[in-house]
Chain A
């Protein structure tokens, strides 16, 4: 898996968009970018993933730069329930498909 770098913490005002960056400059061509979040000791929750195209689902949008060296997870209207640790993971998903979690970004949504 390619190494990913995320800021350790971020704040976001409630109702505003939260933009969480992730750097994965050594990502290889067959590696996807996955985002998970963990709310206070609960099991991590899958959010979204992508290869090279931007992706959107009911939870978030994922913007991947054209060179694929970085990406941004966007929560369009952050709520207090979005306060969590967000993990960005780059993996090929081939073979054993184990996910390697780093330290993530602690997002605090402020009222």
Chain B
């Protein structure tokens, strides 16, 4: 157990639907990062939050959004889902926005869009 909790572990939904992925960072970590991993794209950085505020954006589609709440958990919202959104979604956390100890990743949410 890495200390980063992601729920649900698996999600199957239909095209056009909306889903929410949840991440609880490791205790004491202020920063949360979201990554998408599909078979053909590898690990792609989506977005980072630090202590409730958006810090950096990567290759995140406009149909996707995220937020970090006061208790530091984060949610990634995916809407108007397409088949190509099927992927593993990982959340990671770190103590702050820059650290000497690297990220700690969760075990991921496997999203299947049918």
Contact = CB atoms under 8 A, between A and B. Distances in A.
Q: Is the interface of A mostly helix, strand, loop or mixed?
A: loop
A42 B6 CA distance: 12
B108 A98 contact: no
Contacts of B100: 49, 93
A98 B48 contact: yes
A36 B103 CA distance: 9
Contacts of A21: none
Contacts of B43: 38, 44, 87, 101
Interface residues of A, number: 22
Counting chain B residues whose Cβ lies within 8 A of the other chain, the interface size class is 20 to 34
Contacts of B33: 98-99
A102 B45 CA distance: 11
Contacts of B104: 46
Q: Is the interface of B mostly helix, strand, loop or mixed?
A: strand
Contacts of A87: 43
Specify which of A43, A87, A94, A103 lies most central, judged by the most chain B CB atoms within 10 Å of its CB. Answer: A43
Nearest to A103: B42
Contacts of A26: none
Nearest to A97: B98
Contact of B97 (A44, A45, A95): A95
Contact of A43 (B48, B98, B102, B106): B106
Contact of A34 (B2, B97, B102): B102
Interface string A84-99: 0001000001111111
Contacts of A94: 98
B98 A95 contact: yes
B21 interface: no
A7 to B, nearest CB: 16
B105 A45 contact: yes
Interface of B: 2, 4, 31, 33, 35, 42-43, 45, 48, 55-56, 58, 88, 90, 92, 94, 97-108, 110
9 contacts: A34-B102, A36-B103, A42-B107, A46-B101, A87-B43, A97-B97, A98-B45, A98-B56, A99-B33
